[in-house]
Structure 1
Amino acid sequence: MKEGLVIKSTGSWYTVKTAEGEIHNCRIKGKFRMEGIRTTNPIAVGDMVDFESNKDAEVIVGIHDRKNYIIRKSSNLSKRSQIIASNVDQAFLIVTVNYPLTTTTFIDRFLTAAEAYRIPVRLIFNKIDRYRPNDMVRLSELKNTYEKIGYKCFEISAKKEIHLDVIKETLKGKINLLSGHSGVGKSTLINAIQPGLDLKTGEISESHAQGKHTTTFSEMFELDFSGYIIDTPGIRGFGTIDMEKEEMSHFFPEIFKISKNCQFHNCSHIHEPGCAVKAAVEEGEISLSRYESYLGMILEDEDNKYRI
């Protein structure tokens, strides 16, 4: 029996790297498909696994306990989730104010999912070389919103390699998840940070101002300056999977902090009198866009909560 780190998953085959640097292509033991959380992929990039050889192939027979993981709605029609990656030290959401637009709704859903699974997040605002004056104003507004509540923000151009040194320093020595919509420059950024990978990059669809998918599965790459990057498929949306409505405010740090001053301990921050959160929104202490994201997530029905 050997153990190793899952560095690539295609759904049916898993690439596993041992501590000695050996690479093994493994299948999964069938029973894993019925165990644990209800997902389409019981094993994910970032998992530590045990595997053994049999006459036909090398087979994963055990999975080590995870310290965390992050999930999204599966791309199939069943109401199941897909584990994007596990055992992550920090996540980076790549955001574009334009070319294509990343909405605050999407940002907040990602941040909420990461908070729920105890994964620290940084925001990378990419393509600053393309931004017009009004784009730069919007960028400043977004940075102010998220830095105010404790999320570190970076302004970069992956294509022009602007401000990449600080990104490298932040990645160093850690297992890093990179995520974002298709077209935000994720593969371009990884290629600039780790030359030689030559990841495929995609063009933006002019008709829809959206990126075309270039990554269809998660993969982990080792960094020359120490650490790993996990590249994920372009993600269109996150659902509030496995989150109780009563807990939703816990994953909005600024709402959770102020909610202690509400008149009722179980305040939903929607209609109750004496709600400190609603008062903070009116006074500008809590961003209106963040509050609207909270409302959207807490009020959506069971069907829509899984939408892509």
Structure 2
Amino acid sequence: MPDGLIVKALSGYYYVLPDGEEPGQDGQLPTVQCRARGVFKKRSISPLVGDRVSFEHSENNEGTVTEIHKRQSELIRPPVANIEQAVLVFSLDEPALNLQLLDKFLVHIEHSGLEAVICFSKQDLVKGDGDGADQLDSSAVQKLYEEIGYRVFITSAKEGEGLEPVRHILKERLSVFSGQSGVGKSTLLNALLPELNLETGEISMRLGRGRHTTRHVELLALPDGGWVADTPGFSQLDFMEMEPEDLGGTFREFLPLAEECRFRGCLHHKEPGCRVREEAEGGGRVAPSRYEHYLIFLQEMKDRKRRY
């Protein structure tokens, strides 16, 4: 029984790329259109784009998914499996850099167990301002997140700067691009992967800068190996799947400090003997901006619990 990868899901069909098959000269993938076995529905299991599956051929070059292999990761919004890394694209200007939203994305990615990569775009907009103040700020932000443990890239699609390191991390991996609207995700991907021969407007829709009402999830094959998930990314960031007690674990720099807190299960808010709060207020190992955003998210989660 052949194995393959689900590269697209649409209207109850799953398009499986059999192992060993490659895109044709026109770039199209030689997929097999499959339905899922009824047993999956009885077990409340649905195949997802990104799933490794076994399938069997039926008539008219169609097939049936018979087995879903073990998943390494699973996202609910968007519904996609086995994503290895999320590339968060945030512009340094136009729109202005929004660190609170960046931290919110990071919380959701950490909670999902994915690897997060931060890509600051539009570097060309903060260069050559005379006193260099804007450039100094971007360098400070880069240093902040690198010290936490994230890989951070600064790019300019317009000037072709910083693209090769990002292109390298996409090779042989299954990635999703996400981030604030208008930050140039589409332009960046077009600059990174011109071999895909996609128009900027087409990529813009693919990456969620248009209406999503009839969207489906799809994988784009990269020329050097690997895949980019064709999805708007983390479409909702409402903390519905998290509890307040989970939040601290999604801030990497909090983890070693939490072991030194006086109370087990400390929420790092008003508890006495909280090492996280001491470090944030004392200019230590927790950046004030990160701690401020943590408290905002914590309050948002508590308010949500009261409403429900």
Residue 195 of structure 2 contacts residue 223 of structure 2 at CA under 8 Å; is this kept in 1? no
Instruction: Identify which of 81, 88, 91 aligns with 2:86.
Output: 91
Say yes or no: does 1:121 pair with 2:129: no
Say yes or no: does 1:24 pair with 2:32: yes
Residue 239 of structure 2 contacts residue 301 of structure 2 at CA under 8 Å; is this kept in 1? no
CA RMSD in angstroms comes to 2.9
- Helix, strand or coil at the partner of 2:182: coil
Letter in 2 for 1:129: D
Residue 34 of structure 1, CA deviation: 6.5
Residue 235 of structure 1, CA deviation: 4.9
The equivalences for 1:252-271 within 5 A come to 252-271=251-270
Residue 245 of structure 1 corresponds to 244
Residue 177 of structure 2 contacts residue 233 of structure 2 at CA under 8 Å; is this kept in 1? no
Instruction: Identify which of 62, 65, 68 aligns with 1:63.
Output: 68
Residue 126 of structure 1, CA deviation: 0.9
The 1:214/1:4 distance shift into structure 2, 3 A limit, reads farther
After TM superposition, the score normalised by the length of structure 2 is 0.79
- Helix, strand or coil at the partner of 1:114: helix
The equivalences for 1:204-243 within 5 A come to 212-213=209-210, 216-233=215-232, 235=234, 237-243=236-242
- Helix, strand or coil at the partner of 2:117: strand
Residue 187 of structure 1 contacts residue 200 of structure 1 at CA under 8 Å; is this kept in 2? no
- Helix, strand or coil at the partner of 1:183: coil
Instruction: Identify which of 99, 105, 109 aligns with 1:110.
Output: 105
Residue 122 of structure 2 contacts residue 155 of structure 2 at CA under 8 Å; is this kept in 1? yes
Letter in 1 for 2:273: G
Gap runs ≥5 in structure 1: 73-81, 204-210
Say yes or no: does 1:46 pair with 2:54: no
Q: Matches of 1:11 and 1:287 in 2, distance apart?
A: 46
Q: Matches of 1:185 and 1:112 in 2, distance apart?
A: 22
Residue 214 of structure 1 contacts residue 233 of structure 1 at CA under 8 Å; is this kept in 2? no
Residue 291 of structure 1 corresponds to 291
The equivalences for 1:70-85 within 5 A come to 70-72=75-77, 82-83=78-79, 85=80
Residue 172 of structure 1 contacts residue 225 of structure 1 at CA under 8 Å; is this kept in 2? yes
Q: Matches of 1:105 and 1:10 in 2, distance apart?
A: 34
Larger-gyration structure (1/2): 2
Q: Deviations over 1:66-116 (max 9, x none)?
A: 1112343xxxxxxxxx42x32123221111132234522322222222222
The 1:65/1:11 distance shift into structure 2, 3 A limit, reads farther
The 1:252/1:242 distance shift into structure 2, 3 A limit, reads same
Residue 201 of structure 1 contacts residue 214 of structure 1 at CA under 8 Å; is this kept in 2? no
Residue 178 of structure 1 contacts residue 229 of structure 1 at CA under 8 Å; is this kept in 2? yes
Residue 147 of structure 2 corresponds to 148
Q: Matches of 2:111 and 2:9 in 1, distance apart?
A: 24
The 1:125/1:89 distance shift into structure 2, 3 A limit, reads same
More helix as a share of residues: 2
Letter in 1 for 2:74: Y
Residue 153 of structure 1, CA deviation: 0.5
Identity of aligned residues (%): 35
Aligned length: 284
Q: Deviations over 1:206-233 (max 9, x none)?
A: xxxxx83277443322222232222321
Residue 139 of structure 1, CA deviation: 2.2
Residue 27 of structure 2 corresponds to none
Residue 63 of structure 1, CA deviation: 1.7
The 1:149/1:235 distance shift into structure 2, 3 A limit, reads same
Residue 124 of structure 1 contacts residue 153 of structure 1 at CA under 8 Å; is this kept in 2? yes
Q: Matches of 1:121 and 1:250 in 2, distance apart?
A: 15
Residue 5 of structure 1 contacts residue 47 of structure 1 at CA under 8 Å; is this kept in 2? yes
